[in-house]
Structure 1
Amino acid sequence: MSPFWEKFFYTLTFIFQGSSFLSPYAYGVMHRLHHAYADTEEDPHSPSFSSSLFDMMWKTKNYYNNILHREDQIPAKFKKDVPHWQFMERLGDYWIIRIGWGVLYTLFYIKFATAWWMFLLLPIHFLMGPVHGVIINWYAHKYGYTNFKVNDTAKNLLPFDFLMMGESYHNNHHKLGGRANFGVKWHEFDPTYPFILFLNATGIIKLKRNNDLNYMPS
C-alpha cells in the first residue's frame, strides 16, 4: 500500500472506530507477537494465561499502551514495516476525542432512537474495539472447531461467519497466517475477501502470491 493509501485508511479507521480507536501500529505489532507466541506467557492476549476475559483485556490494554507510548522492550523485527502515522495515533488516543465520539453517538440515539431499549446498545458502540477483541482473542481460543492441528488453542468460532466478517475462522488464520482468504472449507465464507480482491484489482493494495490459496484440509 502506498503512503497515500496508508494515510487514507488510517483516517477511515479513526472515523469508523471512533471512541474505541485502535492504533494500527500498536495493533499490528501485537498481532505479530500473538502469532509468534500464541498461548505462551509472551502472548499479549491469551486465555491460557488469564483468569478471566476481563483480566485478559486489561493485560492487552497495558501491552497496547506500552507499544503505543514506546515504553516496550519488543524486538525490532516485530515492528519492521508496520504502518505508523504519529499524528493520527495521538489524535485517536486522546481521551477528549474518545469522549467526543461518545457524545456524538449519544446525540444520534437521542435524535433517532424509537424505543428506550435501543440505548442499551450504546456501551457496545462506545467499546466496539474491546468487544471485538474479546470475541476473537477469548472465545475463538476456547470454543469452536478446528480444521488444522496447530501449536495453540485457536479455533474457528462460527461455521458461517456472519458476525466477524471472516475473522472468526481463527484456526484457519493461525495455520495459514499469510492467506488473504480466511475461509477454507466450502461453508466458510470470508465476507472481507471480495473487498481485498477489489482493492488488489484497483491497485490500492498489492497481494503477495500465496501458495496456500487453494489449500484444503484433509
Structure 2
Amino acid sequence: MQTTTYRFGAVSLFVMLHAAVIGALWIPLTWKLSLLLVATYAIRVFGVTAGYHRYFSHRSYKMGRAAQFAMAFLAQTSGQKGVLWWAAHHRRHHRESDQQGDVHSPWQQGFWWSHIGWVLSNRFDDYDPRDVPEFSRYPELVWLNRYHLLPTVLFGAAIAAAFGWRAFFWGYVVSTVVAYHCTFSINSLAHLFGSRRFDTPDHSRNNFLLAIVTFGEGWHNNHHYSPGSCRQGLRWWEIDLTYWILTALSWVGIVSQLRPFRPIPAQNRAA
C-alpha cells in the first residue's frame, strides 16, 4: 500500500488561508465589499470552469494563442496550481473515474482525499506532460505552469493596492477559500449526492446547488456522459453560466467552435 505524505508548504498555506477567514468576525462586510467578493469569486471560478476544465482538460472549444494564455493566467489566479498540472490530472480522473486509478474518487479514497487531500499530497505534486501533449508544446504555458503562484499573488496584490487591506481580505482571502471549496466539491460531493440522468460507468451526479455555485459544473453526470461537450446544462432550468458566457464570447470572436453535447462511447469518454 502506497504511503501518502503531504507537502508542508502547501498544507501550511491552506491552513493559514482558512485561519485568516476568522477575521470575518472583526472585519465588517459592507455592500461594496460584498460586490467585490462576488466579482472576484465569479472571475476566478469562470477561469477554472471555462479555462482549466472545459478548454485545457477537454478542448471543448477553440481560441487563439494569446487568448489561450490569458485564460490560463486567469485560471491560475484561483490558486489551484498550474494549468498543465490541472488538466493532466483531470484527464487521468476521466480515464479511470471512480476506479482504483482515479486520482480523486470519494468511492476509492474517501471524502477528505477527493475534496482536498490529493491536492496537498506529494503523490500528485507533479504531472506528466504526455497527458497534455498539445499544450505542453507552448513554452509560455510551461513557464506559467512552473510559476503557478505568480498570477494569484499578482491578483491579490492588485486588490490590496487598489482598494486596501479590507478589500484584500474579502476580495482575495475569503473569495479564494470559498472558490476552493465550491470547485473542489465537484470532485467530492458531485460523485456522492444528486441525480443520474445517464448510466455512466462512474458515480457522477447532477446537483442543482453545485451547478449554481460553480457556473454549471454541477451537471456532472451530464458532463461524464459527454465530457468533450462545451455545454453541461441540457434542460432550460439547468443553469450553465459558463456555457452562456462562452457562447457570448463566441459572438465577438474570442472563442469559436463550441463542441455540442452528443453521446460518447464509453471507451472514448476521457476526451
Matched with 2:100 is 41
Deviation of 1:111 after TM superposition, in Å, equals: 3.7
Question: How far, CA to CA, are the matches of 1:180 and 1:110 in structure 2?
Answer: 38
1:109/1:137 CA distance change after superposition, 3 Å: farther
Q: Flag the 1:38–1:124 CA change in 2: closer, same or farther, 3 A.
A: farther
Matches of 1:201 and 1:103 in 2, distance apart?
33
TM-score (norm. length: structure 1): 0.73
Q: Give aligned-pair identity as a percent.
A: 21
Query: Could you say which residue in structure 2 is the equivalent of 1:216?
Result: none
Paired letter, 2:67: W
C-alpha contact (below 8 Å) 2:190/2:218 kept by paired residues: yes
| Cross-structure match for 1:51 | 110
Describe the SS at the equivalent of 1:65: coil
Give the counterpart letter for 2:146 in structure 1: R
More helix by share: 2
CA distance, structure 2, for counterparts of residue 161 and residue 98 of structure 1: 24
Answering whether residue 215 of structure 2 is matched by residue 165 of structure 1, we say yes
* Per-residue deviation, 1:211: 5.9
How far does residue 155 in structure 1 lie from its aligned partner after superposition? 0.2
In 1, Cα distance between equivalents of 2:97 and 2:71: 28
Q: Identify if the C-alpha distance between structure 1 residues 183 and 57 changes in structure 2 by more than 3 Å, giving closer, same or farther.
A: same
Where does structure 1 lack aligned partners over 5 or more consecutive residues?
A: 114-118, 214-218
Question: What does residue range 4-153 of structure 1 map to in structure 2 within 5 Å?
Answer: 4-14=66-76, 16-17=77-78, 20-54=79-113, 56-62=115-121, 64-67=124-127, 72=128, 76=130, 78-82=131-135, 85-93=141-149, 110-111=165-166, 124-128=174-178, 130-153=180-203
Q: How far off its partner does 1:191 sit? A: 1.2
For residues 137 and 181 of structure 1, the distance between their equivalents in structure 2, rounded to whole angstroms, comes to: 19
Write the letter of the residue equivalent to 1:93.
L
- How many Å apart are 1:32 and its aligned residue? 1.2
What CA deviation, in whole Å up to 9, does each residue of 1:22-65 have, x standing for no partner? 31211111121111110012111110112332565222343542
1:175 equivalent among 198, 222, 225? 225
* 1:81 partner SS: helix
What is the aligned residue count? 196
Quick one: distance in 2 between partners of 1:164 and 1:120?
19
Q: Does 1:185 align with 2:235?
A: yes
Higher relative contact order (CA 8 A, sep 6+): 2
Q: Are the aligned partners of 1:141 and 1:153 in contact in 2 as well (CA < 8 Å)? A: yes
User: How well do the aligned residues superpose, as a CA RMSD in angstroms?
Assistant: 3.2
CA 1:155–1:161: 2 relative to 1, 3 Å? same
* Cα separation, partners in 2 of 1:144 and 1:92, compared to 1, 3 Å: same
The SS at the match of 1:82 is helix
Is the contact between residue 159 and residue 188 of structure 1 (CA under 8 Å) also seen in structure 2?
Answer: no
In structure 2, what residue type is equivalent to 1:182?
A: Q
TM-score (normalizing by structure 2)? 0.60
Structure 2: tracts of 5 or more residues without a match: 1-62, 264-271
Instruction: Give the Cα separation in 1 of the matches to 2:106 and 2:193.
Output: 11
Q: Secondary structure at the match of 2:253?
A: coil
